[in-house]
Structure 1
Amino acid sequence: MTRVCLIGNDDVNLQYELLSRETSREALATYDLRRPFENSLAVRTVSVGAAVTLLNDLQWYLTRFVDAALVQEPSISDEEWLSRSLATDLRNGDVEPHETGEFCKVYGLERVDRGETNPSPPETGANVPVDRGAEADGDGDGDGNGGDDSEDSDEADATLRLVEPLYVRRTDGDLPAYDLRDVEETLVVRLTESEYSP
């Protein structure tokens, strides 16, 4: 299944903005909503084409409330995401899957206590669960925290925040190390060449 993840702008509550408006709420109604990161919404679709179509349907909201729209296609990578533009190029046949990995943006993943995150206002009428699936963290253990399993209650009450993206170029199959902050985990987003800004 292809995943779509919307990361909200810093000054909005994305869940509230999307679920309090009839058109966007209806566009998302058939999906199981998840929240893999702070101030995000994620859904699973059947293909890259379906993911791009959903993003096109939500265009009005994306320009106002969304900082980044990401697509994850398992046939390309189980751990790395695609930018919306790259996913669109892939869907249109303008780029081949093996050509998607050169230009990247790497986010640091910072653990924050759920009490520090903005709770969704009660008017939304929806409770979007934190995504604890393996596809949220990329380490395959299904705990959603990107690292070793822990029974610590602080782990269970934490979520992940995307911080300070670093633009990098893959050379000889390797990405440069993320060095903007001291973080244990990172999230890689593949970009089109025009989106890449070193």
Structure 2
Amino acid sequence: MLLGLFSIFCSFSRKSHCASWMILVSFLLDTAIRAMTRHVSICSKSGAELNDFAVFTTFGVASALLLGVNGLLNRFLTIIYVSATSLRLCFYSAGVPFAYKGLPCPYASCVLASTSLLTKGNSFILCCMASLMILFMIDQSYYPHDAVLESENWKKVIFMGGVFMLFFSPLSVTAFYCLVWSLSYIFFPDALWGKAACLRRWH
């Protein structure tokens, strides 16, 4: 949530690179926190509500502000993106084990932040990508729990690669890496990210 607030501040200060970097850090941190929470069986109503608020702040408001608020289209898409995030968090419940309904907000935000870094904040490309992410988030397709740090070793390597690149590689390389990672989850969810982990848990 703090990283999301810093990202919002950077967006208003017209520092889109810094704002995008904060969101990529949040994406990786969210993955680690979810794994840690499940590992130590931490669960409470207040914790779940705080987590939803943090997700809304970082992967909703902060991500939407990457679009900017200068043009009419940008403002409209910013409002729609925040609304789609809120709808995804409040009303979409999968009803089946180990699955999400609608694209999880962190992946949509990772795509936006990576695109912003790679295109140097190109407004047209960002608006197109945001529109696509909105459709994926409000779509009722099922996405598996990725469980990156709780399944195959190659997924853990991908996560550690993202952490390493974030701090030791050029932002453009890191952005491309995270973009490919997120798009692979969006377009190949079962084939790459969910099936093996789900089967092992069922057994």
Q: More helix per residue: 1 or 2?
A: 2
Bigger RCO (CA 8 Å, 6+ sep): 1
- TM-score, normalised to structure 2, is 0.28
